[in-house]
Amino acid sequence: MIGASAGAVDALSVLLPALPAGFPLPVMVVVHVPPDKKSVMAELFRNKCRVDVREAEDKEPLAPGTVYFAPPDYHLLVEPDRRLSLSSEEPVHYSRPAIDVLFESAADAFGPGLVGVLLTGASADGARGLRAIADAGGGALVQDPSEAMVPTMPRAGIAACPTATVVPLTQMAAVLGTLGERS
């Protein structure tokens, strides 16, 4: 479960290709993109990754070893039965998709079996969601603001969720890679 905004592509280019083939967990990603942008994220990362990368479809069941990007102009949520669902309700923090919407629904759906990752970005989106994940017993990781391209979002995440672990991007990739082994 990853949220990122300004600087997202660079950061994700470090993280996602680090996921090993056969990674046993589903990964959901919200990146702030303008609503009229055609869906490019999934295409951008498909060839760089060893796991499946696609854009989320409504009511699609989560599959292991797959990265799902929220489509532009839709919020992405996780249902309690672990299917994905989309929504066009109002933007949150001026953004649709919004990280908070995904994180909060996932916190409800997964409880402790979930890790939220907040990366670079110029927004407060994701902070509340990260807190919700931590409150539900899940793990919270924040990119070290001192090396984030735009530190606003990681800082907001740490402020809202002081128990979050601060990790430099390069180590974050390793942490994600090992998550699978623990699961």
Q: Residue numbers of the site for another protein (CB under 8 A)?
A: 57-60, 71, 73-75, 77-80, 83, 85-90, 101, 104-105, 108-109
Of 70 and 172, the one with the shorter C-beta distance to another protein is 70
Of 15 and 109, the one with the shorter C-beta distance to another protein is 109
- Shortest Cβ 149–another protein spacing (Å): 29
- Does the annotation mark 5 as catalytic? yes
- Does the annotation mark 73 as catalytic? no
CA dist 168 and 179 (Å) reads: 16
Task: Return the SS3 of 142.
Answer: strand
Catalytic one among 75, 95, 100, 125? Answer: 125
Of 98 and 167, the one with the shorter C-beta distance to another protein is 98
- Shortest Cβ 85–another protein spacing (Å): 5
Cis amide linkage into residue 97, ω under 30° from 0: yes
Of 25 and 84, the one with the shorter C-beta distance to another protein is 84
- Does the annotation mark 10 as catalytic? no
- Shortest Cβ 88–another protein spacing (Å): 5
Catalytic one among 5, 95, 105, 123? Answer: 5
Strand duo 75-78 + 2-4: pairing: unpaired
* 117: CB partners within 8 A, 6+ apart: 1, 2, 3, 15, 141, 142, 143, 172, 176
CA dist 27 and 16 (Å) reads: 9
CA dist 38 and 41 (Å) reads: 9
Which residues are marked as active site?
5, 32, 125
